[in-house]
Structure 1
Amino acid sequence: MRIAVTGSIATDHLMAFPGRFVDQLLPDQLHTISLSFLVDTLEVRRGGVAANIAYGLGGLRMEPLLAGAVGPDFAEYEVWLKEHGVDTAPVHVSADHQTARFMCMTDQDSNQIASFYAGAMAEAARVDLHALHAATPLDLVLVSPNDPAAMLRHTEQARELGIPFAADPSQQLARLTGAEVRTLVTGARWLFTNEYESALLRERTGWDHRQVLDQVGTWITTLGAQGVRIDAKDTPTLTVPAVPDVHAADPTGVGDAFRSGFLAAVGWDLPLRTAAQLGCAMSALALAAVGSQSYEIQPQRLLNTLRTVYGEHAAGLLEPKLGTPA
């Protein structure tokens, strides 16, 4: 399966706060918050949702195409992605803006407060899926958080080209209007949210759970330590537990790692349960590392995790696909 991953490409500035955010919030003063947090550590890492997902897919040897916008400061980052199996040819390089910046602070409960500077991402709509598909026929387009105009354009282009698409609006749900969310979701083969985003998506669209399922093929909701829930119309809900007892070094990019594992497995025509299991195993790798592209995919270790947590059947289905390092 040839997957084009559209969305943000960014540099992550990750900070660790040793306390708990909730202890700093006064319920009767929430209308006038003015806070500064003294953090213990700062890690500068490669990130951006699309780049994170492409990194995971590249590590699984899916050779994804990364389709987003960056600044002239992207050269070193591009080399890194290419070394990890990502085709960066579709990336648009801005002459005027730097690559986007993600600034995130995590407390001791793994809660996060973040901000995002778009920078070159504002030009992401210049990426043309028609030209990309003509040069490299696509089997799936993933529309992940990006400049809203780019998300809408790439969704519409996928429809025009008849290419199945996956909708992953996640962080941009707070920015998008109800009409825009309905446009991004309608007709998606796959819809990805976490549990909070699933509620926000229903609020934005004005649809209930059943109405969302009327519009999409399959809805995948990640549930953190509780694993993942998979829903489809007229089909019993499927739940898959997370990998237990993982040391939570940094939650940034965990959902992106899940998406890469899930999409790789469905690209290999494996069952949904197996896809979710691989996604959860990839999430565990990302959770145990600081930074969303710091984990290393070692096929045998990944298979051992799958075998221990999900059983011999899951490992047996994935072993021919994961194989051994090239």
Structure 2
Amino acid sequence: MISVVGHTAIDHIFTLPKLPERHNSVPVLDHKIYFGGGAANIAAGIAVLGGDAVLISAVGKDFENSNYDKWLKELGVSGSFFVSEDKNTATCYLFNDTRGDQTTVFEWGASELFKTEDAPALEFVHMATSDPEFNVRVAEKAEFSSFDPGQDLIKYTKEELISIIGNIDILFANQHEVKRMCDKTGIKKTDFLKNIPVSVITMSEEGSELHVNGNTFRIPAIPVKLEDPTGAGDAYRAGFLTAYKKGCSEETCCKIGTTTASFAVEKTGCQTNLCDWNRMLERYKKYFGEL
């Protein structure tokens, strides 16, 4: 069982000709609403791949029996929810321009409950975007944990980052997030990565980089037609963690994560093109050989 802690959200995805400059406006080319939230995306991805996932999240009263609630149940995701009496489920506004740049605005809503709820003691947990203090407490209690800071990195203090990094087994982050974590903690990148058993750094179209046991491996991205980059990182984590629970090596897990991410970017929305294990295997063999 893989527990996933963090946001469940409704995604509003906008396509713009370009991101607006200060005091300027731009027209909206497209606007659609999708199921999202980093933790929910990862839990959904694990379930579609055939893994057992429990989503530990915060939602509003609007969530129960909603289409999103029914969707997760259909996928086989078990839910353990904190329910807000006065705030709706979190909402994420994502603005993508035609050059591939993105800006995100996030309304926490019911996710504010993470600040006051008790952190569970979990055997195997991934901490996605969530309240920093809650994630710190989860990491302290967990037997095995992985972590990605995502857009909530700006909310972490230096002390919270040092605490959580000292308690995790796997870090997932993109190259920009690694730089910001190093700047915030005052730790050089080489020393920062040495403190974590396994680190996976994603680099968009340049693929990803694995740091484990003092070794570095580069995993190329799979070339596909990019429709929407939203959710690629979550799909990568879902693939990696599912493979890790199956006993695959870290390098193989990265290749599987790369493969699952390649499906996610082919359609708009984080959960619209999740692949099952057999679809993943077919594409994996084409680019990486036999599993």
Pairwise TM-score range, normalised by the shorter structure? over 0.9
Aligned partner of residue 74 in structure 1, secondary structure: coil
User: Would you say 1:170 and 2:150 are equivalent positions?
Assistant: yes
Aligned partner of residue 23 in structure 2, secondary structure: coil
Aligned partner of residue 12 in structure 1, secondary structure: strand
Q: Which 5+ residue runs of structure 2 have no aligned equivalent? A: none
In 2: Cα distance, 1:309 partner to 1:95 partner: 48
In terms of Rg, which structure is larger? 1
User: Would you say 1:144 and 2:128 are equivalent positions?
Assistant: yes
- Partner amino acid for 2:152? Q
- Partner amino acid for 2:2? I
User: Would you say 1:8 and 2:7 are equivalent positions?
Assistant: yes
Which protein has the bigger strand share?
A: 2
Q: Kindly provide the CA deviation profile for residues 101-158 of structure 1, in whole angstroms up to 9, marking residues without a partner as x.
A: 000110012111110000000002455444xx5xxxx431111111233222322332
Hey, what does 1:64 align to over in structure 2? 53
Percent identical across equivalent pairs?
31
Give RMSD over aligned pairs.
1.6
* Equivalenced residues, count: 289
Q: Kindly provide the CA deviation profile for residues 29-84 of structure 1, in whole angstroms up to 9, marking residues without a partner as x.
A: xxxx2122211111100100000000101111212110110001112212111111
User: TM-score, structure 2 length as denominator?
Assistant: 0.94
Hey, what does 2:72 align to over in structure 1? 81
User: Would you say 1:46 and 2:35 are equivalent positions?
Assistant: yes
User: TM-score, structure 1 length as denominator?
Assistant: 0.85
Q: Which 5+ residue runs of structure 1 have no aligned equivalent? A: 26-32, 315-326
Q: Kindly provide the CA deviation profile for residues 247-293 of structure 1, in whole angstroms up to 9, marking residues without a partner as x.
A: 11111111000000001111111011211111011101110011001
Match of 1:98 among 88, 113, 118: 88
On the 8 A contact 1:182/1:205 being kept in 2, the answer is yes
Mapping 1:18-37, distance limit 5 Å: 19-21=17-19, 25=21, 33-37=22-26
- Partner amino acid for 1:69? A
- Partner amino acid for 2:123? D
Match of 2:100 among 107, 110, 115: 110
On the 8 A contact 2:63/2:89 being kept in 1, the answer is yes
In 2: Cα distance, 1:272 partner to 1:148 partner: 26
Aligned partner of residue 78 in structure 2, secondary structure: coil
In 2: Cα distance, 1:268 partner to 1:179 partner: 34
Aligned partner of residue 180 in structure 1, secondary structure: helix
On the 8 A contact 1:52/1:293 being kept in 2, the answer is yes
In 1: Cα distance, 2:196 partner to 2:174 partner: 16
On the 8 A contact 1:187/1:217 being kept in 2, the answer is no
